[in-house]
Amino acid sequence: MNERWILDDYAAALAQLQNALQVQPSTDLIKAGCIQYFEFTFELAWKSVKIVAEDQGLQPCGSPKACLKLAFAQDWIGDEAIWLEMLEARNRMSHTYHAHDATRIYDRLAAFLPPMQALLDELKKAD
């Protein structure tokens, strides 16, 4: 079970994101913090897929998109479209900053929680 550390980190990051989204977004700073938690959690999500897949002897995936496709093929994720939306959101926030985009992404964060939790649950079962 070589992947336990990353699944623990992923679970902790997801819990932090869930907690952060419970705070009323009274300032842009709170929204920015939530987006940062999302970016970090997303990174751990796809890297968790990569490590679990490698541990199971599956074809290696070196990029987020390749790992998402592998996770979909393994039935670790059920809705590939929302994960591709998350990837696009992470890319948009990581490489540029536009207030309008940030607000739009913040408004979608709650919808991202269930698929992120479902992936974590599936990866733990795959263990």
CATH number (domain holding residue 85): 1.20.120.330
Domain hosting residue 54, numbered range:
4-126
Mean pLDDT of the chain: 92
**Positive or negative, the Cα torsion across 103, 104, 110, 112?**
negative
16-66 pLDDT, tens digit each: 999 999 999 888 889 999 999 999 999 999 999 999 999 999 988 989 999
**Predicted pLDDT at 48:** 96
Q: Which long-range contacts (CB under 8 A, 24 or more apart) does 55-59 make?
A: 55/1, 55/2, 55/3, 56/126
**Positive or negative, the Cα torsion across 120, 109, 67, 2?**
negative
Q: How many domains does the chain have?
A: 1
Residue 90: band (very low, low, confident or very high) from pLDDT cuts 50, 70, 90: very high
DSSP string, 99-114: HHHHHHHHHHHHHHHH
